[in-house]
Amino acid sequence: MKMEIKKFVKEFADQFDETDISEFSNNTIFKKLDEWSSLMALSIICMIDEEYDVIVNGDAIINSDTIQDLFNLVKTKI
């Protein structure tokens, strides 16, 4: 499976209801977004599981700063 950062960023952004898509890029520090919460972290974990069949835990979220960091982690697990 070939992962693409643009697709990952869009799927990541799709989890957010109130944050404009223009706020998201591979360099977005997602924990600084107003809408970020522990429930959002769970949504991201579920999205990664559903879309990429990769299990990431809370530590993966905690240890990632940007969407790119999370993308790189998922890519190594595929």
pLDDT per position as a tens digit, 18-66: 999 999 999 999 999 999 999 999 999 999 999 999 999 999 999 999 9
Helices (H), the chain: 5-13, 38-52, 58-62, 67-77
The total number of structural domains that make up the chain: 1
In this predicted structure, the answer to whether residue 2 has a pLDDT above a threshold of 80 is no
Residue 8: is it exposed, middle or buried by C-beta count within 10 angstroms (0-12/13-18/19+)? buried
- 58: domain CATH number is 1.10.1200
- Answer yes or no: is 61 within a domain: yes
By residue range, what is the domain housing residue 56?
A: 5-11+26-77
Instruction: Please answer whether residues 13 and 19 qualify as being in contact, where contact means their C-beta atoms are separated by less than 8 angstroms.
Output: yes
- Answer yes or no: is 35 within a domain: yes
Nearest CA among 67, 64, 71, 70 for reference residue 26:
67
pTM metric for this prediction: 0.94
How many C-beta atoms lie closer than 10 Å to residue 24's C-beta? 18
- Answer yes or no: is 18 within a domain: no
- Answer yes or no: is 65 within a domain: yes
